[in-house]
Amino acid sequence: MALVAILLSIVLGQLGFFDAARLMKGLRNMGTLTLEMLPPDASVLPVAGKALWETVQMSFAGTMLGFLVSLPLSILGTRHLFSAPLSNLSRLIAAGIRTVPVLLWAILFVILVGLGPLAGTLGVAAYTVGYLAKIYAELFEGTDPEIVEAVRGTGASRFHLVRFVVFPEGANAILTQLLFMLEYNIRASSILGFVGAGGVGFVMQVYLQTLEYRRLATVLLLILLVVLMMDGFGAWLRKRFLLVPQS
Amino acid sequence: MDSTDLALRAEGICFAYRGEEWVLKDISLSVPKGKATMIMGPSGSGKTTLMKVLAGILDPQRGRVEVLNHEIGKRTRRSLYSLIGYIPQQLGLVRNLTSLENVLMGALGRCGHGKVMLGLFPHHEIEQAQAALDLMGISDKSSEKVFRLSGGQRQRVAIARTLLQRPRVVLADEFVSDLDLDLASEILRLMRQVAEREQMTFIANMHEPQLVREFADQVLLLDHGELVRGLPRHGLQGQPSAEVFQ
């Protein structure tokens, strides 16, 4: 424990965390920036609202497309259902996709399909595939082996097992992870416009570059509102559909 | 006994999960058709492992198992469904599905991948599943999710699933061990009635001596991975006296 504390101190020192003058300057700047953001400029609501709606659309479509692709990929990556070479290949593909950050995916798709929300949606979908395929493969692999054995003994094929054991048993976690991914993608998609991949990011970038911080504050508050609404929607969905006790 | 009178025969079974650490040591046994055979033994004696080997879930390093003269090591686990039904200790029910859906899984070996994958089972299978639940006295729970059922009701669902599967031999691994004695006795009576009605052979691991006395036609004792006569070497705490095993 002491070793970790010493190591942390060294790293923080190297990163500039003990530079008091710099930190004080940062605090003063934060105060100035906050004052320049107030009061938020409501006149940009129509423009920001439209751009944010595009971000929500990109996140929703990208998350669902990624979810649909990740399901078969994760099933193939489940070792007790498929052969080792097949599951390893599937996991390798998911790991490869996951290595690329969402912003880089967006840039790649801007190059491939041009500027706009289509590139952003594809970027979100690709990132979602990499993340969910890994999470779901591990989840499916953790299905109670006793249930798998009992149902396999009735003559069920591996596709039956996926449909009648793996999916129902993992339903809670499948939905939870999907909702988490949707919430995460809404936040992540907000900056995809910085690279021309559509959504509210482009508007934010313009306001940042032209130093229109009051307008930027309006956009940030709108994003906060959408994220809070998503949290509420997620909580309602969990309450409505997650029925199996976790114990 | 003639081999045609045997439901199950095991010869020289040896099994180890790791290296030479034998959990089952040279086990040979015969189970007559249509009888209830119960396997007893202290915890860690290898009962569950033996049950899994007999069910074809685990492949023994040595020896062979035949069910109705079919050597199970030469067949895939899936193809054994018409011969062997297996009820694990925790029953192996899918908690997030209804009782009826769980029972219908007993028919999966006879169903393809078309409509069934959409949850649409053939009408006659649904009727038989309903009848199996009715026989178990829980037809009113058919649309109830399994995680909402009591322990006894879950046991009945597991038996109904096996009933729909229609295997010739049912292997049950301490499947009533979590129930109180009265309920366990009721479930076993039901199981025995079903086995007699369907001419199934019933083999179960059992802890409770009173239940063994009441329901077993044949008792096998397992201790330290070996089949023994009479009581095991170190005694079975609270287990029946030697005459039970005559």
For chain A, the average pLDDT equals 89
Q: Which domain holds residue A79?
A: 43-241
Domain spans in chain B, listed from the N-terminal domain onward: 1-83+167-246, 96-166
- Does A140 touch chain B if contact means CB atoms closer than 8 Å? no
In a domain, A1, yes or no: no
In a domain, A164, yes or no: yes
Picking from B82, B88, B145, the nearest residue to A150 by CB comes out as B88
Chain B hits for A148, Cβ within 8 Å: 92
In whole angstroms, how far apart are CA A172 and each of A64, A67, A151, A246, B30? 17, 15, 20, 9, 45
In a domain, A79, yes or no: yes
State the Cα–Cα distance between residues B145 and A244, nearest whole angstrom: 9
In a domain, A235, yes or no: yes
Q: Where are the beta strands (DSSP E) in B43-197?
A: 62-67, 70-71, 84-87, 169-173
Q: Is the backbone of residue B203 left (phi > 0), alpha (psi -120 to 50) or beta? A: beta
Global confidence as pTM: 0.77
State the Cα–Cα distance between residues B31 and B45, nearest whole angstrom: 20
Residue A61: CB atoms within 10 A of its CB come to 18
In a domain, A198, yes or no: yes
CATH architecture of structural domain B1-83+167-246: 3-Layer(aba) Sandwich (3.40)
Take residue A44 and report the two structure tokens written for it. Answer: 């940009």
B83-102: per-residue pLDDT in tens? Answer: 899 999 889 999 989 999 99
State the Cα–Cα distance between residues B246 and B242, nearest whole angstrom: 7
In a domain, A126, yes or no: yes
pLDDT of res. B242: 42
Chain A hits for B79, Cβ within 8 Å: 155
State the Cα–Cα distance between residues B49 and A91, nearest whole angstrom: 32
pLDDT of res. B2: 64
In a domain, A179, yes or no: yes
Domain of residue A207, CATH code: 1.10.3720.10
Is the ipTM above a cut-off of 0.85? no
User: Which residues pair with residue B84 across a beta bridge?
Assistant: B169
In a domain, A22, yes or no: no
- Does B68 touch chain A if contact means CB atoms closer than 8 Å? no
CB contact under 8 A, A159 and B91: no
SS3 B84: strand
SS3 B226: strand
- Does A157 touch chain B if contact means CB atoms closer than 8 Å? yes
Q: Is 90 exceeded by the pLDDT of residue A129?
A: yes
B42-77: per-residue pLDDT in tens? Answer: 888 899 999 999 988 888 999 999 888 888 877 777
State the Cα–Cα distance between residues A13 and A5, nearest whole angstrom: 12
Total domain count, chain A: 1
